[in-house]
Chains A and B, each alone.
Chain A
Amino acid sequence: MPPESVDPVPLLTASRVTIVAGKGGVGKTTVTAVLARAAADAGQRVLAIELDGKPVLRELLGELPCQEISASKALTEYLSDHGFGRVAKRLSTSGVIDVVATAAPGIDDIVVLGKIKQLERSGEWDVIVVDGPAAGHAVTFLTSAAGLHDAVRGGPVRVQADEVLELLRDPTRSQVVLVTLPETTPVNEVIETAYALEDRVGVRLGPLVVNGVDRPARRVPRSYRVDDPEADVLAEAARFRRARLDLQEAEMARLRSTLPLEQWELPLLPVAGMAAGEVAELVATLRYAA
């Protein structure tokens, strides 16, 4: 039976905020763009949020609204809202921020999540898709609220941390979509991340998106004996593809047996310089993992 295509819209509208998380290189930004595009195509008011200040997401979204939230800007804003405006003149703002962020680690993540919470509460958007922080900061980012809740006993930061925790622990308000590749290291990492998020944050985990799944158009033969002047190359290529496919299947099976999450897959495509047009096409290729 061919794998069934996924309608991601019910999932995306179940929680107002969807945070897409995954290690660098797994295609997190592409998945963010695909989910945002799918929801927009279904008539939802969609906002995409970009945290790393890289232009790629904006390019993939085309005309869809995208807002950048930078940790240092959000923290500066937060501090001036809380009485730092005048004192900051005596010192360079960045220096104050260095010290404050070090005195209370996670405060920069909290103000970013606080901004997301504001947008969620504004009622302007049906669906907010967040391209989560890169390079393995997802767990730190999402556990910052729990950490500060324990470390700070009172004051505005504690209030902010509590409100962010409420957002993260309410499945109607937020969920995390994890992204990985069907390879050993990315699978190990996503399993660790999933456990850490469940144990330490209590955020709802949505489906797991396996990106770059290789689905050959024709079954790769197990027997390579053919009458062809390039028979050697044909055999070498078939052996290579089969070995990669075996590795992929083993990793996807491991994911299924380790994480009780719905699995979606996006295909491995020969696309250089992906843009908004390709993202629109990718929406239709989203499948339940076979």
Chain B
Amino acid sequence: MTKDHTLAPVLDGADVIVCCGSGGVGKTTTAAVIGLHAARTGRRAVVVTIDPARRLADALGLPDGLAAEPQRIDLAGGARADGSGELWAMMLDTATAFDALVRRNATNEEQAERILANTFYRNISGSLSGTQEYMAAETLHFLHDDERFDLVVVDTPPSRNALDFLEAPGVLARFLDHRLFKLLMLPARRGMRVVNVATQPLLRTIGKVVGSDVLADAVAFFQAFAGMEQGFRQRADVVMALLRSDATRYVVVASPHRDTVTEAAWFTEQLTAHGIHQVVGVANRVHPAFGPGTAAGARKQEAAADADGDSRRAALWCNIAELRALAESARDELEPFAELLGQPLVAVPLLSEDVHDIETLGEIRRWMFPE
């Protein structure tokens, strides 16, 4: 593995960097390292993570964990000689972010409280599929407008479908704009105090299946939400535009396992289909090869050492043969992804220890951003 490929060009002219890939490939670590590098080169970067992994908080020197508000990270000795760079980090809390969004958009305090107290709303903010993705995009937009920062780095939620992130703003807007919503709203607009669940066949059917109390909460929510849909829709459009802007870059992370490579390739194709071409691939946790030779070559050395009766040397060559075999299969596994991107992947080797402090993050930085 050589250090000839770098993530540095991704940062040029970037306002937003989105890290994507399947779960467990090191998206959060990648986001943290990009933020760290940006800070060390004079940017004011904020890293937003969805993953509550304790280890990242530890690695960033935050003993109390990441908070839902950006916290400044202490980069020992200053970010740069002139002290210009800054690194901030925060964790996305979907429910808190959604509450804040409702408060910002509500026409008055009373409307906000009515929505926040509604059971159906609590279900949306907690478990409507796509809400976490939407809040990630929304938070990204909010931070992008925050003058404290000139770069926002975000890792995407570990969704079943990585593309949800790109489409989430539209999905939520459609949900709130839905015909069912209008249907539920109709009686209220006609001036009736309460929607009579029993008089509408559709509502009656839904109520039979899920229970009428559950449904009453939904109706109350849509009524409370009246007047806010327009604002939500406009906001969704702005967030969508930011995700497609030239200043937003995508880093797709894979590890040398077939499923992560398949997912990374598929995601890259989807980005291209959405007209996004600013995509860079990272191969994380790649087995190092040790020396320029092949596994087969190392096996020959092992056999020769055995013939000499030198079992220690043979065992050491056997070790290299096994490590190189893993490196060779990793390379084969990753090749289709590199071919699809039409450019080499930025490769980070599997290290002999886990990421646990700012130094180990720094070591990964040396692979992602070689001097």
Contact = CB atoms under 8 A, between A and B. Distances in A.
Contacts of B325: 270
A181 to B, nearest CB: 8
Interface size class of B (residues with CB under 8 A): 35 or more
Interface in B188-202: 201-202
A56 B315 contact: no
Contacts of B295: 270
A83 B205 contact: yes
A218 B314 CA distance: 9
Contact of A217 (B24, B322, B326): B322
Interface string B316-331: 1111101101101110
A196 to B, nearest CB: 15
B51 to A, nearest CB: 9
Nearest to A137: B160
B318 A217 contact: yes
A221 B316 contact: yes
B325 to A, nearest CB: 4
A233 B290 contact: yes
B218 A239 contact: no
A273 interface: yes
Contacts of B53: 185
Contacts of A219: 315
Contacts of B120: 102-103
B274 interface: no
Interface of A: 23-27, 29, 52, 54, 56, 79, 82-84, 87, 90-92, 95-96, 98-107, 133-137, 140, 151-158, 183-186, 188, 216-221, 223-224, 226-228, 230, 233-241, 243-244, 247, 268, 270-274
Main secondary structure of the interface of B (DSSP, over half): helix
Nearest to B287: A270
Given A103-B215, A157-B211, A247-B353, A87 B319 contact: no
A102 B222 CA distance: 13
Given A95-B178, A136-B23, 17 more contacts: A24-B260, A26-B24, A83-B208, A84-B209, A95-B180, A99-B180, A103-B210, A103-B214, A140-B127, A152-B214, A157-B209, A186-B24, A216-B319, A217-B322, A226-B310, A237-B319, A243-B352
B323 A241 contact: yes
A90 B202 contact: yes
A24 B211 contact: no
Contact of B209 (A151, A156, A235, A273): A156
B203 to A, nearest CB: 9
Contacts of A102: 120, 123-124, 127-128, 175, 218
